[in-house]
Amino acid sequence: MMYTYLGVAILFPLILAQLPGGLVAGVAGLLVGIIFVPAITNGALQASGIMVPYLLVALLTMSFAGGTPFEVSNALAWTSGGVGFAIGFAYLLDVINRRAYQLERLLEDEKRRSEALLLNILPAEIATRLKAQEKPLADSHDSVSVLFADLAGFTEISRKLSANELVELLNDLFSRFDKLAAEHGAEKIKTIGDAYMVATGLHSSVADHAEKIADLALAMQQAFGEFRRDNNVDLKLRIGVHSGAVVAGVIGKQKFSYDLWGNTVNVASRMESEGIPDKVQISADTWQLLPDRYRSTPRGEIQIKGHRPRATYLLDGRT
């Protein structure tokens, strides 16, 4: 590019010098190529690196070709004005491009933050389908496992704590549960007060969803023991699990909510509410899906509100 402009700066004045009055009448032709410089350079510095030598070489060529002081001065006026405009315009384009790049980066950052926030609310697969504007967004699952966990004694303790202390306490516990849910391939559904709901088997037809939920329940028990010691609180944890069919989907337009519906959810909730503090109570449906390496104690049939009596087991651990 530089050599092209230097060639023009030499050849064009030599041609003009051969024409009567050419160095005056034709010198404006030196400006024609200048208008392209801002578009083919990156910033004022690069434009200057082309235009300044172009201007000097053109003027020296005119002088050596016999140009009069008037002709050289006239050429200087024309070309220096064009060169100044080209450099200024190149600077302006550079500012615009930099600002556009910054705005693009900000937009990408905001997009990443929005996607991260969406993934905190919805499962990744559901978030992708939601962005694709799939409506309605609902799925039927024939066999999943649902876990509810709730704190026994929380109401009494909450009366003694400030708002900040209460929120920090729950955030500490649920953050531990969130980490475990991710490690065990479970999907956190929601928290309701001091209750925690999670499910397995919602994605990719996980065949071992009962094992995953059992391992998660046992890990939650251990994590709760550590939480209780760390915070020196007199709390107990009830966990209930049931397996069966559910309907999953997204509801809401202003605030999205991914939730589960069906009899399985209701029974799992009752497994927790009718459970024993610091024990994991599972239904017979879940127990039948677990392999022999899981140890359990039959609790017998219990009557749960709105349902027939159900056989239940207390999950003790793994062999």
pLDDT score, position 236: 95
H or E stretch at 225: helix 209-231
Distance CA 271, CA 220 (A): 16
CA separation for the pair 198, 183 (Å, rounded): 13
> Domain residue spans in the chain?
2-108, 135-318
Question: 135-318, which class in CATH?
Answer: alpha beta
Local confidence pLDDT in tens for the 319 residues of the chain: 676 777 766 776 777 778 787 777 777 777 777 777 777 778 778 778 777 877 787 778 778 788 888 887 887 787 888 888 888 888 888 888 889 889 889 888 888 887 776 666 666 776 676 666 767 777 888 999 999 999 999 988 888 889 999 999 999 999 999 999 999 999 999 999 899 999 999 876 678 999 999 999 999 999 999 999 999 999 999 999 999 999 988 877 777 778 899 999 999 999 999 999 999 999 999 999 999 999 999 999 988 877 788 999 999 999 8
Unique residue bearing structure tokens 């967004």: 137
Residue 37 tokens, joined: 């410089």
- Element (H or E) spanning 282, and its range? strand 280-283
Given this model, what pLDDT does residue 241 score? Answer: 97
